[in-house]
Amino acid sequence: MTHSPMTRRAFGTLMIAAGTASGRTTAAEGNTMRAVVLEKYGGPDVLRVSQIPIPVPNAGQVQIQVAYAGLSPTDSLIRSGQFPYHPPLPFVMGGTYSGRITKVGAGVDPQRIGERVTGSGFGGYADYAVCDAAQAKPIPEGFDWKLGTVGVGPAVTAWHLLHTVARVRADDVIVVHAAAGSVGLMLVQIGRELGCKVVALVGSPAKIAWGREQVQADLWLDYRADPDWPKRVKAFTTGGRGAQFIFDGNQGEGALKNFDALAPLGQVIFIGAMSGAAPQISIPTLIRGSLGVRGFVVGDGIATTQGAELKEILPKLRSSQWKFPIAEAVPLEKVADLHRASEERTLLGRGLIRIGGEI
């Protein structure tokens, strides 16, 4: 896989963490760490713990002793070679992680040592990682390690989908794919708070039962057991018109069914492709139904608000007004099992890897 110069610069800190040529590492005896290095694409079994040198921060970077790493929705796609935006092999997996700053590079305030932060980039499936100091964000006050690692990102994504992209109004009907997932659970809760009628789509009876224990939706549907779920959505809506917005992070072969569930002037908003790419969408079909389709990357939403949404999000997460279920954290040596559970859709709650733990 080739990468442009910009892509290589963006992932420079990861390649340091992997001990490759893009940065300096120390290989002295006793200065090695555990890390999950992706050396080849494949199933969960390619994820094995190795010993590699501890990365040393370059100028403008910090070294982080990792407490927890989150299982990102894209991790399985990266591991299997289906997601192109990552460094060249080999590299250390893990783009969502938290920990304490233990060293700083030139130009970084040494008073940051000891600070609890989340890191960005790759390298989080390891005892230590490095990232640009500007991307090491303080964990919000009152957040424990686990919520601080994985809670804010999905909430910010859901907030922007509803406020910035869809701009929903009370009584809008919204359909949420993967409603038992991290972003899905946030969409259900925030959507209901805004007065929307929420249809929650999941892929098993177990996820319906678990989802109902976590949050309230107006209608839960198992799209695997009921392939005609768009008819159920329309039957739920006033006059059988359909939904105003559908949020889909799955895509896959069944993605076109979304358009059968929309009301005129409704929109499908795609935020991922966990089930593979969608078939080609017919423009004449969109025109005839007055339907819309959009995509969304959360960074573009944040750019419009400069983080102002955190004034609402952080207190509601901190107080558990918005619930964020987290699965039991697994040790680094069990990371393959966590990937397997995610792909088999048996994982309930956000996946978390315990590395340093409560450091």
- Does this chain's domain 5-151+324-354 share its CATH topology with 153-301? no
136 — pLDDT class (breaks 50, 70, 90): very high
Rg (CA), the chain: 21
Q: How much is the pLDDT for 275?
A: 75
Mean pLDDT (the chain) is: 89
What percent of the chain is predicted at pLDDT more than 90?
Answer: 79
pLDDT exceeds 60 at position 20: no
| 244/174 Cα distance (integer angstroms) | 6
Q: Locate all alpha helices (DSSP H) within the chain, ordered by sequence.
A: 5-10, 12-17, 75-79, 145-150, 152-160, 182-193, 205-214, 229-236, 283-289, 298-305, 310-318, 335-343
**Mean pLDDT across the stretch 24-38?**
70
Query: 153-301: which CATH architecture?
Result: 3-Layer(aba) Sandwich (3.40)
Compute the average pLDDT of residues 146-157.
Answer: 95
Read off the pTM: 0.87
90-106 residue pLDDT tens: 999 999 999 999 999 99
- What's the angle, vertex CA 32, arms to CA 25 and CA 112, rounded to 5? 65
HSE value, Cβ hemisphere, 13 Å, CA-based, for 21: 3
Q: Among 48, 54, 49, which Cα is nearest to 19's?
A: 54
- In the three-class reduction of DSSP (H, G, I as helix; E, B as strand; rest coil), residue 94 is classed as coil
What are 217-257's pLDDT values in tens digits?
999 999 999 999 999 999 999 999 999 999 998 887 889 99
Which token pair is 357?
């733990």
Query: Between 184 and 272, whose confidence is greater?
Result: 184
Q: Has residue 277 got a pLDDT over 90? A: no
pLDDT tens for 174-212 read 999 999 999 999 999 999 999 999 999 999 999 999 999
Residue 107 — very low, low, confident or very high, per pLDDT cuts 50/70/90? Answer: very high
User: pLDDT-based confidence at 78, cuts 50/70/90?
Assistant: very high
How high is the pLDDT of residue 199? 98
pLDDT at 229: 97
Domains in the chain: boundaries: 5-151+324-354, 153-301
Return the sign of the alpha-carbon dihedral for residues 22, 335, 203, 72: negative
Phi and psi for 192 in degrees, rounded to 5? -65, -40
Cα 27 off chain centre by: 33
Sign, CA torsion 101/103/109/114: positive
The better pLDDT of the pair 273, 77 is held by 77
Contact 252, 275 (CB under 8 A): yes
Mean pLDDT of 162-180: 96
pLDDT at 17 over 60: no
User: Which CATH number does 5-151+324-354 carry?
Assistant: 3.90.180.10
DSSP three-state, residue 26: strand
pLDDT above 70 for 11: no
